[in-house]
């Protein structure tokens, strides 16, 4: 009769548990939802360029590569801000501030994830896409991140890597900069300002614990900050209609985008007339909805 050796079985179970725990930490470190949105925007740019007739191998490599490059950018951000993250309620439970993951582990994870992401883009799309993605990662991680404690200049710098994914998707197909690709970059660039400033308004008290002053008017929740959020949403309407004007998309998407832009714009008026966290929260959620609606409308109209 064979006896079960619990002394050898137990460590194996513990090792499995530790491995699952580490994977969960890596998942948290990559900020799945944000990185997924980056991958979605890159796929949108590629599908728009191919007119709905993609090479699915390239599309998959672009999406996974974009996701991983985004994840690497976010890892750099979290490494540099680990001590600041401890000060804010919204970030205090992240893997690095809680010391559930060491900085060395995060560095290794960031290097591996970034290298795989760059490799996928360089091999399966083209070198220009890979290099631009790498520049985006470094700009976000090493320039935008430290500038967050300087002031609103960080938002302008951060808007560039934030707007690059659809352009990367376009270049993954065309292999070059074109006015069409730059226009879909411009739409996402302009969108960044009302989107991010609404988040900064909502999280203002938490941000200030870490020394972040990201609102446009001297870093304060006031009329001038609300006005600039409103102006950003207003400018976004004609900019988002431009693709139909130059023939990238058609009239149907222009109507959908115009209505979406108006619905995004209206809550910003409320922020001006009745400044409040609730009004800013409405704008923030509207911004999350606006971008995928516009991108899907473009695709459906073109395809």
Tens digit of each residue's pLDDT (9 = 90 or more) over 8-19: 444 655 555 556
Domains contained in the chain, number: 2
Collapsing DSSP to helix, strand or coil, 227 comes out as helix
Mean of pLDDT values over 75-91: 94
- pLDDT, mean of residues 169-180: 96
Q: What is the pLDDT of residue 4?
A: 46
Using the 3D structure, point to which of 159, 177, 195 is the last residue of a domain.
177
Band of pLDDT at residue 130, cut at 50, 70 and 90: very high
Q: Return the percentage of the chain with pLDDT > 70, whole number.
A: 93
pLDDT confidence tier of residue 213, bands split at 50, 70 and 90: confident
Q: Do the Cβ atoms of 74 and 35 come closer than 8 Å?
A: yes
- Are residues 215 and 261 in contact, defined by beta-carbon separation less than 8 angstroms? no
Instruction: Name the pTM for this structure.
Output: 0.90
**pLDDT level of residue 289 (50, 70, 90 thresholds):** very high
pLDDT digits (tens, 9 = 90+) for 236-285: 999 999 999 888 898 999 999 999 999 999 999 999 998 899 999 999 99
Asked if 98 and 185 sit in the same domain, the reply is no
Tokens of 16: 């499995």
Q: Could you list the residue range(s) of the whole structural domain that residue 53 is in?
A: 29-177
Dig out the tokens for 253 from the structure.
């998407």
Last residue of a domain, one of 177, 192, 216: 177
Give the pLDDT of residue 113: 96
- Determine, yes or no, domain membership for 13: no
Angle (CA) 244 245 247, round 5°: 60
The string over 123-155, giving b where at least 16 C-beta atoms fall within 10 Å of a residue's C-beta and e elsewhere, is ebbbebbbebbbebbbbbbeebbebbeeebebb
**Residue 20 resides in a domain:** no
Q: Are residues 212 and 275 in the same domain?
A: yes
Q: Are residues 122 and 195 in the same domain?
A: no
Give mean pLDDT, residues 57-85: 96
Looking at the fold, whether 53 and 161 belong to one and the same domain comes out as yes
DSSP, residue by residue, 82-107? HHHHTT-TTTTTSTTTTTSS-HHHHH
Q: Which of 287 and 23 is assigned the larger pLDDT?
A: 287
Same domain, yes or no: 239 and 125? no
What does DSSP assign to residue 278?
H
Confidence label for 3 from pLDDT (cuts 50, 70 and 90): very low
∠ CA 30-36-37 to the nearest 5 degrees? 120
Same domain, 169 and 60: yes
């Amino acid at each position: 009769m064979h006896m079960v050796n619990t002394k050898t079985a137990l460590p194996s179970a513990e090792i499995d548990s530790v491995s699952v725990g580490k994977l969960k930490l890596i998942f948290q470190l990559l900020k799945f939802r944000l990185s997924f949105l980056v991958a979605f925007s890159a796929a949108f740019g590629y599908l728009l360029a191919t007119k709905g007739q993609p090479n699915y191998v390239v599309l998959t490599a672009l999406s996974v590569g974009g996701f991983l490059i985004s994840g690497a950018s976010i890892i750099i951000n979290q490494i540099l801000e680990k001590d600041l993250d401890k000060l804010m309620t919204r970030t205090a439970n992240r893997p690095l501030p809680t010391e559930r993951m060491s900085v060395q582990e995060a560095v290794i994870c960031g290097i591996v994830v970034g290298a795989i992401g760059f490799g996928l883009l360089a091999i399966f799309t083209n070198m220009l896409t890979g290099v631009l993605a790498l520049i985006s990662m470094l700009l976000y991680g090493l320039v935008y991140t430290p500038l967050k404690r300087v002031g609103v200049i960080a938002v302008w710098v951060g808007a560039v890597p934030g707007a690059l994914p659809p352009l990367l998707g376009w270049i993954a197909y065309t292999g070059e900069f074109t006015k069409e690709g730059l226009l879909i970059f411009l739409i996402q660039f302009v969108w960044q300002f009302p989107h991010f400033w609404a988040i900064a308004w909502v999280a203002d008290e938490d941000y200030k614990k870490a020394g972040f002053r990201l609102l446009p008017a001297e870093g304060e929740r006031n009329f001038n900050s609300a006005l600039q959020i409103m102006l950003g949403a207003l400018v976004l309407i004609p900019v988002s209609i431009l693709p139909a004007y130059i023939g990238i998309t058609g009239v149907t998407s222009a109507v959908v985008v115009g209505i979406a832009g108006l619905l995004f714009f209206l809550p910003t008026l409320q922020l001006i007339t009745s400044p409040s966290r609730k009004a800013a929260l409405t704008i923030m959620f509207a911004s999350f909805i606006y971008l995928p609606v516009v991108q899907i409308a473009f695709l459906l109209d073109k395809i």
